[in-house]
């Protein structure tokens, strides 16, 4: 989960036996992260520059490079903060215990919550990713890891005949891109969509795709 390596990180490792808690470094690092979060709450990533970021912290521009390799390194760190919440929220369904439908609903609710809370970060990361090799790899790996475990989870329910037969991997990919794209579109900018609408839509698609037999899911056709 740790992401970046920084000069001072490497140096500190070399001398690691010594002092264990060099507080000042972590302190300004946090200040930078805070400034980044604040900035991205109101502006798109393309307007973020090392200059204006550090202006907001009171430190010099070059101080930035003691804590991050570049702006994409900063984004990687911000993403790490969010990753955990997403993985955790997805557990109910992914773990495979309990009622599939109910636990999927639970997981999707958690996912939408995280998206709603950290929308600007997710948007910024996905905006920043295409301009950097490394960040792009991190971001795609993150999404890709979900593809694998979602596909596995689908396969389970196919064995139990709860889910129709189909190649799980491409469907998992499709559903995951939907989540990412839709959440970022809905919660990525200043005017966020209504959380319940988003949840309802995502839930409908997942449920009708994976559990079309389930009577809870079904799908009142308004007449007949």
Binding of a second copy by 180 (CB under 8 A): yes
Cα–chain center distance at 201: 19
CB of residue 56 to DNA, shortest distance in Å = 13
Q: With beta carbons less than 8 A apart as the criterion, state whether 36 and 48 touch.
A: yes
Task: Please give the structure tokens belonging to residue 184.
Answer: 């970022």
- Compute the chain's Rg from CA coordinates: 21
**Binding a second copy by CB under 8 A: which of 52, 81, 212, 216?**
212
**Binding a second copy by CB under 8 A: which of 64, 126, 139, 154?**
126
Helices 100-117 and 71-95 cross at an angle (nearest 10°) of 160
Number of chain positions touching a second copy (CB under 8 A):
50
Binding of a second copy by 85 (CB under 8 A): no
Binding of a second copy by 106 (CB under 8 A): no
Binding of a second copy by 175 (CB under 8 A): yes
CB of residue 62 to DNA, shortest distance in Å = 3
Binding of a second copy by 98 (CB under 8 A): no
CB of residue 117 to a second copy, shortest distance in Å = 19
Pick the stretch among 18-26, 55-63, 104-112, 169-177 that binds a second copy (CB under 8 A): 169-177
Binding of a second copy by 219 (CB under 8 A): yes
Partner whose binding site includes residue 98, from DNA, a second copy, none (CB under 5 to 8 Å by kind): none
Q: What angle do CA 219, 211, 176 make, to 5 degrees?
A: 105
Binding of a second copy by 171 (CB under 8 A): yes
Binding of a second copy by 49 (CB under 8 A): no
Pick the stretch among 1-9, 18-26, 80-88, 207-215 that binds a second copy (CB under 8 A): 207-215
- How many angstroms separate the CA atoms of 168 and 114, rounded? 25
Binding of a second copy by 45 (CB under 8 A): yes
Residue 163 makes CB contacts below 8 A (sequence gap 6+) with 154, 157, 210, 211
Q: Which residues bind DNA (CB under 7 A)?
A: 8, 11-12, 15, 18-19, 22-25, 28, 49-51, 58-63, 65-67, 69-71
The beta-carbon contacts of 41-48 under 8 Å, at least 24 apart in sequence, are 41/120, 42/190, 44/123, 44/124, 44/127, 45/71, 45/75, 45/123, 45/124, 45/127, 45/128, 46/127, 48/124
Partner whose binding site includes residue 181, from DNA, a second copy, none (CB under 5 to 8 Å by kind): a second copy
Task: Please give the structure tokens belonging to residue 108.
Answer: 């999707």
């Amino acid at each position: 989960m740790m992401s970046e390596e920084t000069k001072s990180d490497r140096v500190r490792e070399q001398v690691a036996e010594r002092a264990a808690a060099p507080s000042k470094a972590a302190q300004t690092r946090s200040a930078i992260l805070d400034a980044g979060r604040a900035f991205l709450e109101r502006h798109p990533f393309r307007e973020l520059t090392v200059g204006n970021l550090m202006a907001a912290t009171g430190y010099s521009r070059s101080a930035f490079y003691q804590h991050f390799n570049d702006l994409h390194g900063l984004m990687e760190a911000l993403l790490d903060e969010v990753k955990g919440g997403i993985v955790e929220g997805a557990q109910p369904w992914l773990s495979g215990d309990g009622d599939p439908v109910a636990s999927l609903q639970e997981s999707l609710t958690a996912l939408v919550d995280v998206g709603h809370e950290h929308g600007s970060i997710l948007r910024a990361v996905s905006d920043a990713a295409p301009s950097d090799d490394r960040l792009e790899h991190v971001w795609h790996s993150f999404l890709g890891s979900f593809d694998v475990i979602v596909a596995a989870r689908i396969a389970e329910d196919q064995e139990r005949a709860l889910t129709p037969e189909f190649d799980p991997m491409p469907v998992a990919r499709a559903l995951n891109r939907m989540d990412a794209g839709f959440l970022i579109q809905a919660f990525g900018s200043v005017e966020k969509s209504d959380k319940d609408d988003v949840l309802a839509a995502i839930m409908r698609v997942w449920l009708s795709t994976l559990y079309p037999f389930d009577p809870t899911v079904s799908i009142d056709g308004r007449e007949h």
